[in-house]
Amino acid sequence: MKLPPQAIQRPYKLMTRKEIADGILEMQFEPEHPEDRIPEFLPGQWVNLYLSNPDGTPFAKAAYSIACAPSDVGADGRLTLGVAMARGFTQRLAALQVGDIVRLQGPFGVFTLPASSERLTFFAGGIGITPLRSMIREALSREDTTPITLFYSCKTMGSCAWLEEFRELAASHERFSFVPILTREEVSDWDGECGRCSAQMIDRHVADANGAFLLCGPTSFMESVIGILESKGVHSKQIHQERFS
Ligand SMILES: Cc1cc2nc3c(=O)[nH]c(=O)nc-3n(C[C@H](O)[C@H](O)[C@H](O)COP(=O)(O)OP(=O)(O)OC[C@H]3O[C@@H](n4cnc5c(N)ncnc54)[C@H](O)[C@@H]3O)c2cc1C
């Protein structure tokens, strides 16, 4: 029986690896051969990443959101992932060297950029930024005027991945507002918010309850933000979320 294209495990080569924030590794992979490229993905979708043991036997797999936008992907098919280092699987992943081969399968997932919306409001908690980065980069690459706001909650400034990139995107796109939030650190001259996300904090940056609200982060973070949004009259149909666990 022929497998659907998303189900095929395809060899991808590690091209770059860089610790872009405390405990967060940005890894870029390219298909080993042009024909190994995964089918086109939608912003926000994810892939399964399979690791092997040194003797070539299978080790394990884990899901990773594609952190680049479809419009970022060039002829080489290079994909960007952002990985929060945690336990056994991510330790193995972090030990990979440039040139090593993994297998990717996908893309999967229905947490994707809405086709159209009056406004897009994103809430990321920690490593939950990865699918949102893909969606925001894609949305900003399009010729439209939809206002976009990103609330990005991190424990400390050092743990915020792609912080400078989001600041630069906000500086160069009038319709994009970036609200970094620190929950466990006070930093002088901080350009964002401090403390847990609250109704008052959201009111300072988003005028009303219209448009789509897209969330990814720890369960407690998402439950708290959804509770606030619902108390403001946001309908559950306007809320979209991705869970990593
Ligand atoms: C849709 C989705 C998107 C996600 N996107 C991201 C993302 O963008 N970035 C991110 O950092 N995380 C993401 N995650 C979470 C990610 O899939 C992993 O859960 C996380 O990276 C696990 O890290 P860990 O080192 O704690 O894994 P572990 O808990 O060590 O292991 C994960 C799995 O690997 C296997 N495993 C681990 N060690 C062994 C062993 N010794 N022998 C055999 N099997 C073993 C087990 O099956 C285990 O369940 C996403 C999850 C989902 C569901």
H-helix segments, the chain: 88-94, 129-141, 163-172, 199-205, 219-231
Question: Is 235 within the bounds of a domain?
Answer: yes
pLDDT, residue 105, reads 98
164 and 70 within one domain: no
Q: What does the block give as tokens for 58?
A: 């299978």
173 and 124 within one domain: yes
Question: Is 113 within the bounds of a domain?
Answer: no
94-138 tens-digit pLDDT: 999 999 999 999 999 999 999 989 999 999 999 999 999 999 999
Ligand 1 near 7 CB (within 6 A): no
Atom 6, ligand 1: residue with shortest CA distance: 64
Distance CA 123, CA 216 (A): 7
173 and 145 within one domain: yes
Distance 223 CA to ligand 1 centre (A): 22
pLDDT, residue 132, reads 98
Distance CA 39, CA 105 (A): 10
Instruction: Indicate whether 2 pLDDT > 90.
Output: no
Atom 18, ligand 1: residue with shortest CA distance: 62
Give the predicted TM-score (pTM) of the model.
0.97
CATH of the domain at 198: 3.40.50.80
146 and 95 within one domain: no
Atom 26, ligand 1: residue with shortest CA distance: 87
Question: Is 191 within the bounds of a domain?
Answer: yes
How many structural domains are present in the chain?
Answer: 2
128 and 234 within one domain: yes
Q: CA torsion sign, 108 to 109 to 110 to 111? A: negative
Is residue 180 reached through a cis peptide bond, with omega within 30 degrees of 0 on the bond before it? no
Instruction: Indicate whether 1 pLDDT > 90.
Output: no
Do the Cβ atoms of 178 and 170 come closer than 8 Å? yes
Domain around 195: 120-242
Q: Given pLDDT bands bounded at 50, 70 and 90, which one contains residue 30?
A: very high
66 and 9 within one domain: yes
137 and 94 within one domain: no
Ligand 1 near 80 CB (within 6 A): no
161 and 229 within one domain: yes
153 and 96 within one domain: no
Please give the distance of CA 158 from its chain centroid, rounded to a whole number. Answer: 17
Question: Is 115 within the bounds of a domain?
Answer: no
Distance CA 56, CA 192 (A): 47
User: Which amino acid is located at 118 in the chain?
Assistant: E
Instruction: Indicate whether 236 pLDDT > 90.
Output: yes
Ligand 1 near 90 CB (within 6 A): yes
Instruction: Indicate whether 210 pLDDT > 90.
Output: yes
Question: Is 218 within the bounds of a domain?
Answer: yes
93 and 133 within one domain: no
Question: Is 114 within the bounds of a domain?
Answer: no
102 and 130 within one domain: no
Q: Which atom of ligand 1 approaches the CA of 93 most closely?
A: 25
User: Which amino acid is located at 212 in the chain?
Assistant: A
Instruction: Tell the burial category of 91 from Cβ atoms under 10 Å away from its Cβ (0-12, 13-18, 19+).
Output: exposed
**Of 14-18, 114-118, 173-177, where does mean pLDDT reach its minimum?**
114-118
Domain final residue pick, 75, 108, 141:
108
Instruction: Indicate whether 19 pLDDT > 90.
Output: yes
Ligand 1 near 62 CB (within 6 A): yes
pLDDT, residue 217, reads 98
β strands within 69-224, DSSP E: 79-84, 101-108, 120-125, 148-154, 176-182, 193-194, 212-216
36-62 tens-digit pLDDT: 999 999 999 999 999 999 999 999 999
